[in-house]
Structure 1
Amino acid sequence: MNILFAGDFEPGYNRTKIIIDGLRAQPGVTLSFYNYKEKSKWNFPALRKACKAADVIFLPSFTHQDVLMIKWLSGKPLIFDPLISRYMSKVFDYKKVGKYSPRAFKNYLKDKISMSMADLVVCDTHAHLQYFHDTFNIPEHKMHVLPVGVNTDDFKPAPVQHPQNTFIAGFYGGFIPLQGTRMIIEAAKVLQPHTDIQFRLIGDGFEFKKVQQLAKDYGLDNVSFLGWVNYNKLAEEVNAFDICLGIFGETMKADAVIPNKIFHYAALQKAIITKNAPAIREIFEDGRDIILSENTATAIAEKILLLKNDPVLRAAVAEQGYRKIVTGYNHKVIGKSLYELAVRLL
């Protein structure tokens, strides 16, 4: 089977990379690419030729604007992986667009048209699937859940190496609204008297400067910002954490996703604390393979202290999360699932 990845996409983006790596591990699958970042969107003969050679066309994350033309041009079975709703992100997450504005309607149409035109829509969670159905009236029968997962060849656990009198609660991310990094700073403020607990935040992005300023305003000496870390160094940095912090946003999107970092943390055999949200509960079980928290600074601080003071529980949660993710949600499992969906579509 020849699967064509088409549209304007980033092959190195985590979700897309996992799918590519997973499909490459499947016998009988060949991949081809027509990426608008490298080839002309308007070279119809070349694009049509690439489509003709494919059995199935796959449009990766964020290619909403490409679905209509590629479907019209190719006439081939088309799988679309929106990953996000542009309407939800712009209006309710980043709040850059008014709910009843022309731009909101434009983003609503981008979601609805792209998902309607695809033959199959893959969703990262059931919560997203339900949102797409309820908001854009996409039939449930044409959607399927394909979790983000993790490339377990890239993320392997290693012993924690740092001073024994220090306990590190770590986070990485793009400081986007759904991640709720402000809440991590509030928890760090609560735990400031516990001088052996340190918070280590990796990354930068949308709210980075505001979060950094908040820590400065509070005079926190238990928070450090490491800046952006390349993908190939990420596992090494996270392996230095004693526990990992997930997401604590108050947005609609925060309740609908299981972000990359949760899968990465689990694959590195780390105990995870994250917001108690519907999407997280689709895969994880509180107290067994993850620690879920009410979304308050005090509650998060209490969960951090719980794991710090109970190394047996910390090790058990880390082990159960690790086993679940590396066996059921590795890149090969994700690739096999998508391959089987493509076979079914054909």
Structure 2
Amino acid sequence: MATAEQRTDANDVWLPFPPGEIEGLPDGFRYRHWDAGPDFPADPARCAFYVVPYMKGAEASLRPLPRMSRVRVVQTLTAGIEHMLPGLSQMPPGAQLCNARGLHDASTAELALTLILAALRDIPGFVRSQDAGEWRPDFRPALADKSVLIVGYGSIGSAIEDRLTPFECARVVRVARTARDTVRGPVHPLSDLSALLPTADVVVLAAPLTEGTRGLVGGDFLARMKDGALLVNIARGPIVDTQALLGELESGRLRAALDVTDPEPLPAGHPLWHAPGVLITPHVGGPSSAFLPRAKRLLREQLTLFAAGEPLRNVVATAGESGCA
């Protein structure tokens, strides 16, 4: 929360969009447009509120932070903030790092459902047949009557379940870091995964990348998945051990639909491109027509709170606090 004195000393707001394109921004700030270009739009030391450019990579996003000596808020436009965590130690004590929880729920959940349906019904195979001018009807698995396990049940995981509801799944099972009850039913703790994995036809990864989830989907995890099961990753690539997944794909025992990979971008010639039973999209869960209006609404709401000295939403870390810097 900024004091009046702090807003007077440093009242620049850096936006990745031209400020004239966002209606209803509060008065009292100097709005600067910077989308990770080579030149800064103004002295970073005068920046009070920094909106991180979207999909420009960690190096570009972190570049101005060492000079933002009076920044009070760093706002990402992503739900995941792992790319900004190295910058916490460069932020002044008390500065807040906020994520974009809720911004990508609709778009990412929509892609998750798209990947599930496309992989189960073998849409890539039909596209290849179309390219070859071949008519190849066949039976394919349906989503109906399948058991779906969602690993990571935050706002995106919940939005995925919203979209699964009309598809007559046999059941949807929820897993998160800690157990809790919801109106839909229980959320199981991660410690229950071993027992739940063999029951799932589709496993959807929607968890944030943390030290606790990095490499979560390794050889043991994959070995416990049932034969023929589908792994869907719309979270972060390093949650999955790529070599372990490749082994399961090449054996034909499992299938996968991946919006994120490790490494990412996936380089040309990587064996994952041509592994059997895999569908890959290039990290497009968030970038859709749903992004811009929701991003502008989030920034307008956060800046209005900041101008009024009110607590911000989605604060995930504060510089200088134990364990954060």
* TM-score normalized with structure 1 length: 0.34
Report the structure, 1 or 2, having the larger helix content.
1
- Calculate the TM-score normalised by the size of structure 2: 0.36
